[in-house]
Structures are given as C-alpha cells and as structure tokens.
C-alpha cells in the first residue's frame, strides 16, 4: 500500500496511491484528522482500528499537489550519520575526522526539527552566504515507525516498521562542522524534503533496495541499502534504548557516498540547482534550490 498526503480543491486529503503511481483514492477522514496527513492513519492502525474506507473517486496524481506524507512529524526526525562505508571514507578528513576511528562501534545519531520538512517537489530555500555557503545534499531511505516501543530488540525491530519514504537530509556543512553537534546545520527551514508517499512494509523490503541521487541530471549517489554499516533492525534497537519510539516517528538511515563535500574540490549547491532522489520501490522527490 502507498499512502500519500495531498492538496486537492483547496483541501488536504490522505489517500491510497495506485500501484502504478498514477492515481490516488481519498480516505474517509474528517478534515481535522486529515490535517495530520498519513500520521493520522498510522495512529489509527496503531490503536487497532481499521483502515478508513475510501471516500469519493480516485483522481490522477498529476492533478493534485503532493505534500510530505508527514507534513509535520510528531517530533524531531531521528537521523543517522556515517552509515555507508564509502561515505565514511569520503568524509574521514572533514565531518568524521573527530569521530571514533572504528565506524562500526556505534552509529552517529542526530535529529532534524519537524518544521524543516517540506513536500516532494517544494523549493528549497538557500539561507544566504552570511549564514552558509556550503549547502549539500544527502539522499536517504527513511523508516517510519508503526508500532511504538522502548528497548526494542533487533529480532523484533521489523515488527515496529510501518513503512518507508524518501528524504533528502540537506546540510549546511560549514554550520555542521562549526558547531560539532549537527542539529543546527541540518535543521534550516525546508531542509528535509520528503515523499512522494509512504510505502508500507508489506510492499517493500527496506533492507534490500537502492538509493540514488542526481544533481542537475548528473548521477552523484548510488548505494544499495544492503551496504548499511548499521542495518535497520540495529538502528531501531539502538535508538529505542531507554527512549520510547512512537507511531509516526521517522528514522533517516544515512546517505551513500557521493555528497558534494566529498568531491575534490567540493561541489556545493547553488540557486537554480535541481536535486532528484529516487529509491527503488518507493519513487522520487525532486527539488529546486532557490
């Protein structure tokens, strides 16, 4: 099942996207509930309630304005740094130079504020040279939690996964390194495009898919999730140690090699650039930087 949040005729809807991605069927949700996007459905199912019935006729995806499936996540997004070996190597003299020399000891975990989330085709606002001149992209698979829990074991972790979506963990590199703690450089307004929808875990194996990123049509990143240093069960186990995860929580699983900072010389984003992130089995988001 593919669940989308979208605007149509001036109203927000949550709907089921057809298998071919061409149409979407609205679900019977009051407007006040639909305002939460797909999170409303995740919370209903977590309570043991049935999936809302379809309401009305399907419409073409081309005729709606797709929003982030979670227009404002319930709290900060959990994010993982240094989770592909090649990416750890390309930034070993910059972002990761002060980290543990053994990248397989513990994952680096940080957060992004929920307000930085925007839709799959929204413009990304560059903050201006006085704030940052080193804006970078990070294509990532994001895991959406469906069943909450604390101290979840890796053996049970996948039972807690509702589904998956695509994010671009946009980063102000100079701010990230200046403050050492990464949240500020990761949380600028519009710095987390998400979408185009959430694909449920019964339809996609997030441990066996492919993450790719293009900048202005040039392929920059291409990594299978089998190459994760810390796999999805390990990430859920680690993040839930002493911390309760809730339905609708998001875990961005890390980015493959090929980021702008890792190039020689570095290639940062500028006004007019277009970044496309695509994950097999989910779809693509594409955002212009302005």
Please indicate, yes or no, if residue 279 is contained in any of the structural domains.
yes
- Claim to verify: residue 113 and residue 204 sit in the same structural domain: yes
Domain CATH for 258? 3.90.850.10
**Count of Cβ atoms closer than 10 Å to residue 245 Cβ:** 18
Boundary residue ending a domain (36, 66, 96): 66
Boundary residue ending a domain (38, 66, 94): 66
Query: Quick check: 233 and 37 in contact, CB under 8 A?
Result: no
- Claim to verify: residue 148 and residue 281 sit in the same structural domain: yes
Please indicate, yes or no, if residue 112 is contained in any of the structural domains.
yes
pTM of the model: 0.94
Share of the chain above pLDDT 90, in %: 89
Please indicate, yes or no, if residue 83 is contained in any of the structural domains.
yes
- Claim to verify: residue 123 and residue 210 sit in the same structural domain: yes
In this prediction, residue 94 carries a pLDDT of 55
Q: Which residues contact 267 (CB under 8 A, 6 or more apart)?
A: 215, 260
Please indicate, yes or no, if residue 204 is contained in any of the structural domains.
yes
Region class of 71: left (phi > 0), else alpha (psi between -120 and 50), else beta = alpha
Please indicate, yes or no, if residue 226 is contained in any of the structural domains.
yes
Please indicate, yes or no, if residue 72 is contained in any of the structural domains.
no
Domain carrying residue 216: 77-288
DSSP conformation class of 135: E
- Claim to verify: residue 153 and residue 260 sit in the same structural domain: yes
E strands, the chain, in order? 2-8, 11-17, 23-26, 59-60, 65-66, 77-81, 108-112, 117-118, 135-136, 139-145, 161-168, 171-172, 192-200, 210-215, 218-224, 250-252, 274-279, 283-288
pLDDT tens, position by position, 259-285 = 999 999 999 999 999 999 999 999 999
How many structural domains does the chain have? 2
pLDDT tens, position by position, 1-13 = 999 999 999 999 9
**Count of Cβ atoms closer than 10 Å to residue 8 Cβ:** 15
Please indicate, yes or no, if residue 71 is contained in any of the structural domains.
no
pLDDT tens, position by position, 167-213 = 999 999 999 988 878 899 999 999 999 999 999 999 999 999 999 99
Residue 87 pLDDT > 60, yes or no? no
- Claim to verify: residue 155 and residue 187 sit in the same structural domain: yes
Average pLDDT for the chain: 94
pLDDT tens, position by position, 206-264 = 999 999 999 999 999 999 999 999 999 999 999 999 999 999 999 999 999 999 999 99
CA 60 vs. chain centroid, Å, equals 24
In this prediction, residue 97 carries a pLDDT of 57
């Amino acid at each position: 099942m593919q669940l989308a949040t979208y605007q149509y005729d001036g109203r927000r809807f949550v709907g089921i996207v057809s298998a071919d991605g061409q149409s979407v069927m609205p679900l019977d949700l009051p407007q006040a509930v639909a305002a939460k996007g797909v999170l409303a459905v995740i919370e209903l199912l977590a309570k043991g309630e049935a999936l809302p019935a379809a309401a009305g006729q399907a419409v073409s995806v081309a005729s709606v304005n797709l929003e982030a499936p979670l227009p404002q996540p319930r709290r900060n997004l959990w994010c993982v740094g240094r989770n592909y070996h090649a990416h750890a190597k390309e930034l070993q003299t910059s972002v990761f130079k002060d980290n543990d020399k053994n990248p397989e000891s513990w994952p680096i975990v940080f957060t992004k504020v929920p307000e930085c989330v925007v839709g799959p085709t929204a413009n990304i606002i560059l903050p201006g040279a006085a704030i940052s001149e080193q804006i970078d992209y990070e294509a990532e698979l994001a895991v959406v939690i469906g069943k909450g829990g604390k101290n979840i074991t890796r053996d049970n972790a996948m039972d807690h996964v509702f589904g998956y979506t695509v994010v671009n963990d946009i980063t102000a590199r100079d701010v990230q390194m200046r403050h050492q703690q990464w949240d500020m450089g990761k949380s600028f307004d519009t710095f987390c495009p998400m979408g185009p929808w959430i694909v449920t875990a019964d339809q996609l194996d997030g441990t066996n898919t492919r993450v790719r990123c293009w900048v202005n049509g040039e392929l920059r990143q291409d990594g299978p999730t089998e190459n994760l240093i810390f796999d999805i069960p390990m990430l859920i186990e680690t993040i839930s140690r002493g911390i309760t995860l809730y339905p609708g929580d998001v875990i961005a699983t890390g980015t493959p090699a090929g980021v702008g900072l890792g190039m020689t010389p570095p290639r940062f984003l500028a006004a007019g650039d277009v970044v496309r992130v695509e994950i097999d089995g989910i779809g693509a988001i594409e955002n212009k930087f302005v």
